[in-house]
């Protein structure tokens, strides 16, 4: 399974971990990962430590997650990006919308 989810210790943070390519083929799996979850979830962490590639449809999916998580009030952290992935996120200036670290 290229996408794994777990709840962090506090039970309020959903960690979504994507392995390999994050592109249109992961669309459904990514949505399934955050929809129908525990109503206590307040924060989201997208862990990209094993993500090798990210394309513009992945950026779109991140926007969908942001919308789902409350739009401007969403609390989403994107972490452990490799250089290529980081570069794609910053060309699109996604740090204005997400907490990238």
Partner 1 sequence: MDDSTASYNGPLRILIADDSDSDRLILKTLLTRLGHEVLDVANGLDAVSTFQREAPDLVLLDALMPIMDGMEAARQIRLLAGERLVPLIFLTSLSEAGALAHCLDAGGDDFLGKPYNRIIIEAKIKAFNRMRLMHQALSDQRDLIRERNRQLTEEQEIAKRVFDNVAHSGCLDASNIRYHASPQSIFNGDVLFASPRPAGGMLVFVGDFTGHGLPAAIGAMPIAEIFYGMVNKGFNGQDVLREINQKLKRILPTGMFCCGAMIEADFKLNQIQIWNGGLPDGWLIRPSGAHLALPSRHLPLGILSPDQFNAELERVVAGPGDRVLMMTDGFLESADRDGRVFGEKGVMETLDQLGADDHPFDAMMSAIHQLTGNPEDGDDLTLFCLEMAAEGGLATLPDRVEPSALAGPAEWRCTYEIRGQTLGEFSPLPLLLHICMEVPGLRRKSGEIYTLLAELYNNALEHGILALPSEWKHSPEGFGRYYQERNRRLLDVEGHYIRFTLQHSLKPEGGRLCVVCEDSGPGFDFQSYLSTAPDSAAASNRRYAGRGLGLLSRLAETIRFHGQGNHVEIVYKWQLARTAEKRDD
Cβ closest to partner 1, residue 16 vs residue 97:
97
Question: DSSP 3-state helix, strand, coil percentages of the chain (rounded to 5)?
Answer: 40, 30, 35
Answer for which of 7, 29, 59, 74 binds partner 1 (CB under 8 A) is: 59
Q: How many CA atoms lie within 13 A of 25 on its CB side?
A: 9
Among residues 5, 7, 24, 43, the one that binds partner 1 under rule CB under 8 A: 24
DSSP state of 76: E
Kindly tell me which residue out of 29, 64, 69, 77 binds partner 1, with binding defined by CB under 8 A.
64
Residue 97 contacts partner 1 per CB under 8 A: yes
Residue 56 CB, nearest approach to partner 1 (Å): 4
Stretch that binds partner 1, among 5-13, 14-22, 35-43, 59-67 (CB under 8 A): 59-67
Beta bridge partners of 7: 14
Instruction: Count the alpha carbons within 13 Å of 12 in the hemisphere toward its beta carbon.
Output: 5
Burial (0-12, 13-18, 19+ Cβ within 10 Å), 10: exposed
Q: What does the per-residue mask of binding to partner 1 show for 29-58, with x meaning CB under 8 A?
A: ---------------------------xx-
């Amino acid at each position: 399974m290229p996408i794994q989810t777990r709840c962090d210790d506090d039970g309020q943070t959903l960690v979504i971990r994507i392995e390999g390519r994050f592109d249109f083929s992961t669309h459904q799996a990514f949505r399934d990962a955050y929809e129908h979850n525990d109503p206590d979830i307040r924060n989201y962490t997208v862990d990209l430590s094993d993500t090798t590639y990210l394309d513009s449809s992945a950026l779109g999916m991140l926007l969908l997650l942001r919308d789902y998580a409350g739009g401007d009030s969403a609390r989403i952290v994107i972490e452990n990006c490799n250089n290529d992935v980081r570069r794609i996120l910053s060309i699109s200036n996604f740090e204005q919308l997400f907490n990238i670290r």
